[in-house]
Chains A and B, each alone.
Chain A
Amino acid sequence: MALPNLLPALIDLVAVLLLALGIKGLSKVSTARSANGLAALAMGLAVLGLLIEQPLSAQAWLWIAIGTGIGGLLGLLTAQRVPMTAMPETVALFNGCGGMASLLVALGVAIYSPGGAPGLVEQISIVISVFVGAITFSGSIVAMGKLQGWISTPAWTQNSLRHAVNISLAVACLAGAITLPGSMAGAPLWVLLLASSLLGIGVTLPIGGADMPVVISLLNSYSGVAAAAAGFVVGSQLLIVAGAMVGAAGLILTQVMCTGMNRSLVSVLFGGALGGVAPVGGGGDEAGYTRITSCSAEECALALEAAERVVFVPGYGLAVAQAQHALRELSKLLELHGVEVSYAIHPVAGRMPGHMNVLLAEADVPYEQLLEMDTINPEFPRTDVVIVLGANDVVNPDAKTDSSSPLYGMPVLEVDQARQVFVVKRSLGAGYAGIKNALFELPQTAMVFGDAKAVLNGLLTELRSMGIGKK
C-alpha cells in the first residue's frame, strides 16, 4: 500500500474502533452519553478519511454542501423540537431516511454506472440495497404513521388475504431481482423498487400498535443491512463493518424486546394485531366487569397517608396525560412524609423498552428509584399501596395464572401481591391487548376513574389539605 493511501486507511481503522466502543458504551448507563459522542466522532472521522482519499471537484463540493445543509439542518431541528413521548415515531422516521439514503445510492449506481459497468457482486449488492432500503423506508414511514395515529389497521390486513398480497409482492421482488443483471437500468429495477416498497407497507400495516416497537427495532436492523449492502456497492469496507455491526446489534435488541413481551418475532410479523380488530370474547367492553370497586381521590390519599411503602406503576397513559411531573411532585411530598417511594418499570412500559425511563428522567425522578421488574416483584408483598397509572396489560395477573389468556406467559409486575392497589384509569376500556384485566376485580383493588394528571393533582391537593408537606 502506497504511503499516501495509508492515512485514510488508518483513519478508517480508528473510526471502526471508536464505533465499536461507542456501541458497547451505549449499553451502560454511566458511559452511555460519552459513548454516543464517541460514535458521532467516529462518524466524523470516517467522513474526513473519505474526503481526504477522494479528489473532489468544486461542483461536487457544492452538491455536498447542499445535501449537508438541508439534511443536517432538518435533523437538528427535529432532534430539538420533538417531544419525548414521540420518541418511537422519531426513531422510525430517522431510520426510514437512512434506508432511503442507501436505496438512492444503489439506484444511482444501477442507472448511471459511475465506476464502470457493475460486476456480479455489485449487481447482487444493488439488488439487496434496493430491496432492503425500500422496505426499510416504506415500513418505517408506515410504523411512524401508525404510532402517530395517522394510519389505522385496515380490516383486510387481518385475514389471509394479506398473506396472498405479500407473497405476490415477494414473488415480484424476486422476479425483478433475477432479471435485473440483464438490464441494469431497465424495467426489472423499477419492478423491484415498486414491489419492495409495497412489501414494506404490506408487512407493517397489519401489525398492531403494541408490537410496533419490535418492528421499528427490526427495521433499524434492516437499515444496517442496507448500509452494509451499499458498502458492497461502492466498495467501502468501513461501511460494510459499520452496517453489519448495526444490523447484528439491532437483531439482538429486537430479540430482547420480543422476550420482554413474550411474543415471538414470527408471531409479531405474521400473526396480525394481538386481539385482532374485533376484540375476542367481548373483552374490552365495560360490561365484561362485574365486581369493580371505585373510589375517590380522597380515599386514595388517606391510604397513601397511612402507608409506609408505596410503589408507582407508570404506563404509557401517564405519558399521554403528561402527568410525569405531577407524579414526581406527589412522590416528593410522600417522601417528605417519610414514605418509601419507588417506581416499578416493566421492560416494555411506554411504547418502547426504556421509553418510560426516559420520560420519568425528564421529570427529574432519581434514577435509583426506578426499579426493574425482577427487582421489584419480590418487594410487592411488603408494599402497602400500589398505584397503577395508565398501565394495564403489564399488571394483568391472568398472564401468570390463566393459560387461556392471550397474555399467558408474559412476565408481569405482580402488583396483586400488594396490600392495596389503586388503578388510575379513564374508563374500563381494554389495554393494547384488548382483553379483560383480572386485577381490576380483586378485592384489594379500587379504581380511581379520571385522567392521570387530574387524579394526581387531586391527590396532591388532598394530601396538602391533610397538612402533609407543611411544618
Chain B
Amino acid sequence: MSALTQALWVLLLGSLLGLELIGKVPPTLHTPLMSGANAISGITVLASLTLIAQANGQVPLLLLGSLSLGFALFNVVGGFLVTDRMLAMFSRKSSRSGGAR
C-alpha cells in the first residue's frame, strides 16, 4: 500500500470515528465540547514542530515554524484550560450533596 493510500484510509477512518464519537451529547455540554474539540484541533503543533525539525538551519523557516507553534500552542493551552475551567463548575455541582454552602 502506498503512503498516499494509507494516508487516505487514515483520513476516512478518522472522519468516520469523529462522526460516531459525539452522536448523543446533552446540550449542557455543547459549549465545553466545542471548546475541547477546538483545543484538540491545535494538534497542528505537530506540523509546526516538524517544520522546525526540517528547517535545517534556514532562519525564515525556523521563524515561520516558531510563529506557527506559538499560534497552535495558544490554541491548545488556552483551549484545554478554558474547557477545564467550565467543566470544573459542573463537576463541583454533581459531587456536592445538597445543603453544603
Contact = CB atoms under 8 A, between A and B. Distances in A.
Interface stretch (A39-47, A203-211, A420-428): A39-47
B58 A243 contact: no
Given A29-B28, A91-B35, A249-B18, A54 B71 contact: no
A321 interface: no
Interface string B35-61: 111111111111111111111111011
Contacts of B86: 84, 87, 358, 361
A107 B51 CA distance: 11
A233 B38 CA distance: 21
Contacts of B91: 32-33
Given A22-B36, A63-B52, A71 B69 contact: yes
A27 interface: yes
A60 B52 contact: yes
Contacts of A111: 60
A352 B46 contact: no
Contacts of A90: 35, 78, 82
Interface residues of B, number: 89
Contact of A43 (B43, B47, B82): B43
Given A29-B29, A51-B49, A71 B61 contact: no
Interface residues of A, number: 117
Contacts of A251: 19
A40 B34 CA distance: 15
B73 to A, nearest CB: 3
Contacts of B50: 50, 54, 105, 234-236
Nearest to B93: A367
Contact of B61 (A91, A112, A364): A112
B1 to A, nearest CB: 12
Nearest to B69: A67
Interface string B1-19: 0011011001111111111
Given A32-B87, A94-B78, A105-B51, A252 B22 contact: yes
A108 B61 contact: yes
A246 B81 contact: no
Q: Is the interface of A mostly helix, strand, loop or mixed?
A: helix
Contact of B21 (A51, A115, A245): A245
Nearest to B72: A101
Nearest to B55: A114
Interface string A34-62: 01110110010011001100111101100
Which of A91, A231, A244, A249 has the most B CB atoms < 10 Å from its CB? A249
Contacts of B55: 60, 63, 114
A-B residue pairs, 3 tightest by C-beta: A248-B18, A244-B14, A67-B69
Given A64-B49, A112-B58, A364-B101, 20 more contacts: A27-B26, A36-B32, A66-B66, A67-B52, A71-B71, A91-B79, A97-B72, A98-B42, A104-B67, A114-B61, A227-B43, A227-B47, A241-B13, A245-B15, A246-B38, A354-B27, A354-B32, A366-B93, A367-B94, A372-B28
Interface of B: 3-4, 6-7, 10-19, 21-58, 60-94, 98, 101
25 contacts: A26-B29, A26-B36, A43-B43, A59-B57, A63-B69, A67-B73, A68-B69, A70-B70, A71-B71, A71-B74, A75-B76, A79-B78, A79-B82, A91-B31, A91-B82, A94-B74, A101-B47, A102-B44, A108-B64, A121-B4, A233-B47, A245-B17, A246-B43, A252-B18, A372-B27
